Structure 1
Amino acid sequence: MEITRNNIDGGAAFDWGRASADYARYRDIYPDEFYQRIADMGLCISGQSVLDIGTGTGVLPRNMYRFGAKWTGTDISDGQISQAKQLSEALGMDIDYAVSPAEELKFADGSFDVITACQCYWYFLHEKTAPLFARLLKDGGRVLLLLMNWLPFEDEIARKTEDLVLKYNPGWSGCNETFHSLAVPEEYGKYFEIERTGEYRLPVRFTRESWNGRIKACRGIGASSLTEEQKAAWEKEHLEMLSHYPEEFDIKHFAAFAVLKKK
């Protein structure tokens, strides 16, 4: 399903279904520290019912399944949900999945203890999702917003990779990230109080293949409206650039989170 947002990529359409296969193979990259910090905050653990919105291929539910929560994942892309189901079933995990935009979730009031949105909340129409999330949560329930991005001004490989993506897709706005806190959209203030925020640096290990795959599965390349010929030309140049670096390397990233408690 194609998505357009005026504040993203200059309004150009993108479709995560185009990148689902690469997403399933290459986007499961969050270090264990990322998940452990969530559990250490008492979120997404045994006894809780969790809704993961924009679940993609189910990365968050699958990696946090060991902490004991009951997970449901939704995504606007049926291609992403298809991959999520296959990956979860192969691991014997009891995770429910459904195709749905974040603004049109069909669950009973008070269904969840926690709602998570990892690497996706900026796509939401917040004037619709803020009251909806509050309705879907139990009393005292939490929304957990999460992001993890590479740092191109601190990492040479990340910088050169971004430059190459912009060569083929100059309207891509997912670039030039710096270390920062997560800004909670103002629409949530009516329904939630900010309970906790934080940010931290962390390295993420890649091989040349997995870093190339990670970028293929991003909005600037795989999910974009670039032609297959353009994507192939980008990949050829990217692999040539990577051939000048070691087979394995760390890419500098940062993660940030915000915990919102229902009023």
Structure 2
Amino acid sequence: MWALGDYAAVAREVIPGLGAVLVDACGVRAGQQVLDVAAGTGNAALPAARAGARVTASDLAPELLDAGRRLADEAGLALDWERADAEALPFDDASFDVVVSCVGVMFAPHHRVAADELVRVARPGATIGLVSWTPQGFIGQMFAAMKPYAAAPPPGAQPPPLWGDEAHVRELLGDRVEDLRAEKRSWPVRFARPEDFRDFFKRTYGPTIVTYRGIADDPEKVAALDVALADLARDHMDADGRMGWEYLLVTARRSGA
């Protein structure tokens, strides 16, 4: 799914600085071993490398890793790029000083399994940092708007925006972490028109592309989803096309230090 469209454009044009917010919140510094899980094109991995950390960027989609490598080369940054499933990370226990994911691990279908992996690869005392879209925020509502038109999820899969619910994240990480801090913030986004948002996401964003492909032979459903997504954007836009997309920023320390 994430190899479809142009997620690099989403990272570049819609959330270009969101990964840096996470890196700053985690206090990433030179010499640390940092793992970016479901890294995409390196939205968090690249700023972590700029801070002087030794960074491993992992993602399931090789196309996104290839795009991230090109960005790193252009910026003169050295990172390790590894294909990896967030639910089965190919790294040893207690390998990293910082483990982060910026609107990435939230899309792993089995939340408990993914959370277990985040904790497993973190050293005692390591920082775990997450940015996730909230259920109540714009992206959470976008997934709700697409749900009637989307194929049923696999058995056991949980909705991605649940990672944006503080209680859910606390339950997933449990007593394996300490000093968990969670803060809802808003990410500024601007499109000239509601239809511009819709068309951009139809062209670039994997989950939206997959949803439209599933109803491609039903023009009425396509038209209805077109209206639903444009209306959603319109409801969140001010007169200048600005929106605030709510996300949850979580930082915690791995227990056992």
TM-score normalised by L of structure 2: 0.70
SS at match of 2:168: coil
Q: Give the AA of the match of 1:213.
A: F
Per the alignment, do residues 193 and 225 of structure 1 end up closer, same or farther by CA in structure 2, a change over 3 Å counting?
farther
Name the CA shift for 1:54/1:224 in 2 (closer, same or farther; >3 Å). farther
CA drift of 1:250 comes to 1.3
Deviation of the 1:181 alpha carbon: 4.1
Aligned to 1:251: 243
1:80 is the counterpart of 2:70:
no
Q: Which residue of 1 aligns with 2:209?
A: 222
Whether the 8 Å contact between 2:105 and 2:114 is mirrored in structure 1 is no
Instruction: State how 1:41-80 maps to structure 2 within 5 Å.
Output: 41-80=25-64
- For 2:218 and 2:84, the matched residues in 1 are separated by 28
1:18 pairs with 2:10? no
Change in CA separation of 1:36 and 1:89 when aligned onto 2, cut-off 3 Å: closer
> Hey, what does 1:117 align to over in structure 2?
101
The partner residue of 2:178 within 190, 193, 196 is 193
Distance 1:42 1:111 in 2: 17
Q: In the TM superposition, what are the counterparts of 1:205-220 in structure 2 within 5 Å?
A: 205-207=190-192, 212-220=199-207
Q: Is contact 1:57–1:84 with CA below 8 Å preserved after alignment?
A: yes
C-alpha separation in 1, matches of 2:27 and 2:238: 38
> What is the CA–CA distance in structure 2 between the aligned matches of 1:25 and 1:231, rounded to whole Å?
28
Q: CA deviation at 1:112?
A: 1.0
CA distance in 2, matches of 1:31, 1:84: 13
Q: Residues 131, 170 of structure 1: CA spacing in aligned structure 2 closer, same or farther, 3 A cutoff? A: closer
Q: Please give the alpha-carbon distance, in whole angstroms, between the structure 1 residues aligned to 2:218 and 2:208.
A: 7
| Code of the aligned partner of 2:168 | A
Q: Mark the CA change 1:60 to 1:36 in structure 2 (over 3 Å): closer, same or farther.
A: closer
Structure 1: distance between partners of 2:185 and 2:68: 28
- The alignment status of 1:140 with 2:125, answered yes or no, reads yes
Provide the C-alpha distance between the structure 2 equivalents of 1:135 and 1:175, rounded to a whole number of angstroms: 21
Contact 2:36 2:57 in 1 (8 A): yes
Compute the displacement of 1:90 (Å).
2.5
Q: C-alpha distance in 1, partners of 2:70/2:147?
A: 33
Letter in structure 1 aligned against 2:37: I
Instruction: Give identity over the alignment, percent.
Output: 20
- Equivalent residues, number: 238
1:57 to partner: Cα distance: 1.7
Give the TM-score, by structure 1 length: 0.69
**Following the alignment from structure 2 to structure 1, what is the Cα–Cα distance between the partners of residues 39 and 250?**
17
Q: CA deviation at 1:92?
A: 2.1
Deviations 1:97-127 (A, max 9, x none): 1111112222233321111122133325344
1:169–1:220: 8 Å Cα contact kept in structure 2? no
| Distance in 2 (alpha carbons) for counterparts of 1:186 and 1:246 | 36
Q: Distance in 1 between matches of 2:37 and 2:97?
A: 14
1:42: Cα distance to partner?
A: 4.5
Give the direction of change, closer, same or farther, for the CA distance of 1:213–1:135 in structure 2 (3 Å limit).
Answer: same
User: CA 1:196 to 1:51, structure 2 compared with 1: closer, same or farther past 3 Å?
Assistant: same
Give the C-alpha shift of residue 142 in structure 1.
Answer: 1.7
1:23-38 matches, within 5 Å, as 23-28=7-12, 29-30=14-15, 32=17, 34-35=18-19, 37-38=21-22
Segments of 5+ residues of structure 1 without an aligned counterpart are: 1-14
Whether the 8 Å CA contact 2:22–2:131 is kept in 1: the answer is no
Bigger helix fraction: 2
Question: Contact 1:205/1:251 (CA < 8 Å) preserved in 2?
Answer: yes
The corresponding residue for 1:184 is: 169
Deviation at 1:75, TM superposition (A): 0.9
What SS does structure 2 have at the residue aligned with 1:221?
helix
**Corresponding residue of 2:253:** 261
Letter of the 2:99 partner, please give it. Answer: I
